């Protein structure tokens, strides 16, 4: 079911500072910041030869990333994202096997316009897993 690693997401308290670090210190190519109100975050991506790193800061106090940063003030790894060829087939297979989908269970558009779902971290051995349908 899962395909390639799409990205590793890091929650950061200051997106501009994190972007500058990855661009200026690490020599990475960093995208412009993009607000994603449906997910409660502002993101930027660091493009790597084999994957991407997503830098996320909270967009508003109700953001799930704000809750994460309240517990991890310096930031840290938030989730890992795998590609799937069909998000609805993946969801059906996962739900049938007992996995819990976060939110209302319906795919939402991610940063690149592709549908995404998040799996409950307790079902992923303590890791929040995002699935993204990449066409």
Task: Specify the pTM.
Answer: 0.94
- Cα gap 118→130, rounded to integer Å: 4
Would you place residue 78 in the very low, low, confident or very high pLDDT band (cuts 50, 70, 90)?
very high
Q: Tens digit of pLDDT for each residue in 14-73?
A: 999 999 999 999 999 999 999 999 999 999 999 999 999 999 999 988 899 999 999 999
Q: What's residue 61's pLDDT?
A: 85
- Cα gap 130→127, rounded to integer Å: 10
Count how many domains the chain has.
1
Q: What's residue 9's pLDDT?
A: 98
Q: For residue 36, what are the domain limits?
A: 5-133
Residue with tokens 């996995």: 99
Residue 135 pLDDT exceeds 90: no
Q: What's residue 31's pLDDT?
A: 98
Query: Would you call 130 a catalytic residue per the annotation?
Result: yes
Q: Tens digit of pLDDT for each residue in 98-128?
A: 999 999 999 999 999 999 999 999 999 999 9
Which position among 54, 130, 132, 133 bears the catalytic label? Answer: 130
CATH of the domain at 14: 3.10.180.10
Question: What's the per-residue H, E or C state across 1-17?
Answer: CCCCEEEEEEECCCHHH
């Amino acid at each position: 079911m899962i395909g390639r690693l799409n990205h590793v997401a890091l929650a950061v308290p200051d997106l501009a500072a994190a972007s500058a670090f990855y661009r200026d210190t690490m020599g990475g190519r960093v995208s412009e910041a993009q607000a994603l109100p449906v997910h409660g975050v502002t993101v930027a991506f660091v493009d790597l030869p084999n994957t991407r790193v997503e830098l996320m800061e909270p967009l508003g106090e109700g953001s799930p990333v704000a809750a994460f940063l309240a517990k991890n003030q310096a930031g840290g790894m938030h989730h890992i994202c795998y590609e799937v060829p069909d998000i609805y087939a993946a969801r059906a297979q996962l739900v049938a096997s007992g996995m819990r989908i976060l939110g209302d269970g319906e795919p939402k558009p991610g940063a690149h316009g592709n549908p995404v779902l998040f799996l409950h971290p307790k079902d992923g051995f303590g890791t929040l897993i995002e699935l993204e349908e990449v066409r």
